Amino acid sequence: MTLDAITSAALDGIAHGFYTRSGGVSSGIYAGLNCGGGSGDQNEAVALNRARVAATMAVEPDRLVTVHQTHSANVVSVTGPLGQPRPEADAMVTATPGIALAILTADCEPVLFADPAAGVIGAAHAGWKGALDGVLEATLDEMEALGARRDRIAAVIGPTISQPNYEVGPEFVARFIIASPDHARFFKRGTGDRALFDLPAFGLDRLRRAGVGHAEWTGDCTYADAERFFSYRRSVHRKEPDYGRLISAIRL
């Protein structure tokens, strides 16, 4: 089966894709293109899935680079394949052709960045914590260190959980309001004391306030579309023992 990758015109001229779960070899709850080595899926299946992605990105499997994601604001600059153990970080940047930066998600935001004029790209994993702690701004800073200009950078948020499906408690809301009362606009009332959080709108706001030339969301909700996307939250609601991980990648 052919892999299915969502692309954005904002990144035209740069090889990239927000891959759906279609086209992989995993089975069961991981059915399709599960690229998460931290899942309970068979290692051989994950390796084959990642190799398929690498092939569509026109790189060798070891040049499809991922990090050990920890919901941080840490960013690493990549010039070649990363050894083991992989660095703990949630974003990467590079100005090296032939390196594909890849992020794994299952509701969090995958964000791909490019300044084609400078030949600099980036990729970030931005859940609520990473976004609140500044991983998107830190990625822009590191891209600038490689010669990018933020007013030329296009940043695209891929499939992520949308507000109607992201129910949170009052302690979650309080954390955002303490950081800034302005954050109240990213929440709307849910049932009882619950609220609904707009993660993609929050990510877009952070990017635009940081001065990127263009920021957009593809509009795809991981929770709502079980056929195309893995979702951590959906797996919890279904009482499934684990969940697959989507991959998003970008290459100069």
Widest CA span in the chain:
51
Domain limits of the chain? 5-160+215-251
Q: At what angle do helices 135-145 and 199-209 cross, to 10 degrees?
A: 40
pLDDT at 84: 87
Beta bridge partners of 189: 195
Report d(CA 241, CA 92) in Å as an integer: 30
Q: Kindly provide the residue ranges of all beta strands, DSSP E only, lying in the chain, ordered along the sequence.
A: 5-6, 15-19, 64-65, 75-77, 91-94, 100-105, 109-115, 120-126, 154-157, 167-168, 187-189, 195-197, 214-217, 246-251
Structure tokens that stand for 230 in this block? 């893995």
Which superfamily does CATH assign the domain made up of 5-160+215-251 to? CNF1/YfiH-like putative cysteine hydrolases (3.60.140.10)
Structure tokens that stand for 169 in this block? 């408690």
pLDDT band at 1 (very low <50, low <70, confident <90, very high): low
List, for residues 70-119, the tens digit of each pLDDT value: 999 999 999 999 988 999 999 999 999 999 999 999 999 999 999 999 99
